[in-house]
Amino acid sequence: MFHPHGWCYLWEPPLVALHVGSDALTALAYFAIGLALALIVRRRRDLPFGLLFALSGAFIFLCGLTHLASILVVWQPLYWIEGLVKAATALVSVATAVVAIPSLPLIMRIPNPLVDPLTGIATRGALFESVQKKPASMGPAAVLYIDLDHFKDVNDKFGHACGDLVLREAARRLKAVVRPRDIVARLGGDEFALVLTGASLADGERIAAQARTALAAPVSVNDGRTVWIGASIGVAELNGDFDAALRAADRAMYAAKHDGRVSAPA
């Protein structure tokens, strides 16, 4: 005849409460996570790796059942039921691992929406998110809007592979002229933005001149050829409304492009 697990605790109330309370809280957390994953699978059938989500949810839910079974056997010696629950959990955990391990290379290749996959710098969305998260701590700031000159000619003459190399090199050079705390982002196509924290409009114009010089240097492509580009840059002050500041810098950039200047303030 089996005895309930409580005998192992000598029925000490604090010890029983510790184990039962811990198992109960863990079970509730596991149930919540498992149900959340099941809801994701049900509502978002467009998401990849649906089977992995479903198996993970089932595995986590069954882990919660094992903790409930551990509570049950404190008072009732239903060890066969506890064992069957653990066996089911083991089977589902093995199935989850079988599906998860081959999926790892595919998961690792999922692009980060906050990082531009070509240049490795921030995306437009990441730029807005970064600025909106810390507007107060940023203090005064300057926004630079950068458009590469003659980039379409490079694509048309040398091909998109060469154009991609130029974009990566442009991003590298822009990162080199700013401080680590500043933000460098690709807005799309051949347009970039810089946010210089703690910088005045004059500071922005100085960095714009440095960026224009850096981007005007020749770029060596893989077949030994050299291409030249330039950049038109607009500068604006950031005074709380980042979207307005970026639009102002965009207008200043077009003014600089039209006038053929190094940069133009908003």
Q: What is the pLDDT of residues 170-226, one digit of tens each?
A: 999 999 999 999 999 999 999 999 999 999 999 999 999 999 999 999 988 767 788
Both 251 and 144 in one domain: the answer is yes
Angstrom CA distances, 214 to 138, 170, 172, 254, stand at 26, 8, 10, 20
Question: Residue ranges of the alpha helices (H) in 122-159?
Answer: 124-133, 135-138, 151-158
> Residue 138 has what pLDDT?
63
What average pLDDT does the structure give for the chain? Answer: 90
- Specify if 102 maps to a domain: yes
Q: State how far the Cα of 116 lies from the Cα of 186, in Å rounded to an integer.
A: 7
Answer with the residue of higher pLDDT: 262 or 134: 134
Domain that holds residue 60: 5-108
- Specify if 117 maps to a domain: no
> Residue 261 has what pLDDT?
52
Bridge pairing between strands 226-227 and 141-149: unpaired
> Residue 136 has what pLDDT?
56
Both 150 and 178 in one domain: the answer is yes
State the pLDDT confidence band at 228, using cuts at 50, 70 and 90.
confident
- Specify if 113 maps to a domain: no
Catalytic annotation, pick one of 23, 182, 190, 250: 190
Q: State how far the Cα of 230 lies from the Cα of 154, in Å rounded to an integer.
A: 11
Both 95 and 135 in one domain: the answer is no
C-beta of residue 131 within 8 angstroms of C-beta of residue 183: yes
Which one, of 202, 201, 207, lies nearest residue 182 by Cα? Answer: 207
Both 99 and 197 in one domain: the answer is no
Both 144 and 104 in one domain: the answer is no
HSE (side-chain half, CA atoms, 13 Å) at 1: 2
Share of the chain above pLDDT 90, in %: 68
Q: Which of 54, 77, 108 is the last residue of a domain?
A: 108
- Specify if 114 maps to a domain: no
C-beta of residue 123 within 8 angstroms of C-beta of residue 130: no
Both 87 and 197 in one domain: the answer is no
> Is 116 annotated in the active site?
no
Whether the pTM exceeds 0.75: the reply is no
Both 39 and 161 in one domain: the answer is no
> Residue 241 has what pLDDT?
85
- Specify if 43 maps to a domain: yes
Q: What's the CATH code of the domain at 217?
A: 3.30.70.270
Q: Convert the pLDDT of each residue in 231-253 to its tens digit.
A: 999 999 998 789 999 999 999 99
Mean pLDDT of 95-121: 91
Question: Residue ranges of the alpha helices (H) in the chain?
Answer: 13-43, 50-75, 79-108, 124-133, 135-138, 151-158, 160-176, 201-216, 242-259
Mean pLDDT of 155-178: 92
Both 166 and 246 in one domain: the answer is yes
- How many residues in total does the chain contain? 266
Count how many domains the chain has.
2
Residue identified by tokens 């004059």 is 202
Both 40 and 66 in one domain: the answer is yes
State the pLDDT confidence band at 137, using cuts at 50, 70 and 90.
low
Q: State how far the Cα of 171 lies from the Cα of 183, in Å rounded to an integer.
A: 11
Q: At a CB cut-off of 8 Å and minimum separation 6, what does 167 contact?
A: 118, 119, 148, 151, 186, 190
> Residue 134 has what pLDDT?
67
- Specify if 174 maps to a domain: yes
Q: Which of 78, 108, 138 is the last residue of a domain?
A: 108
- Specify if 182 maps to a domain: yes
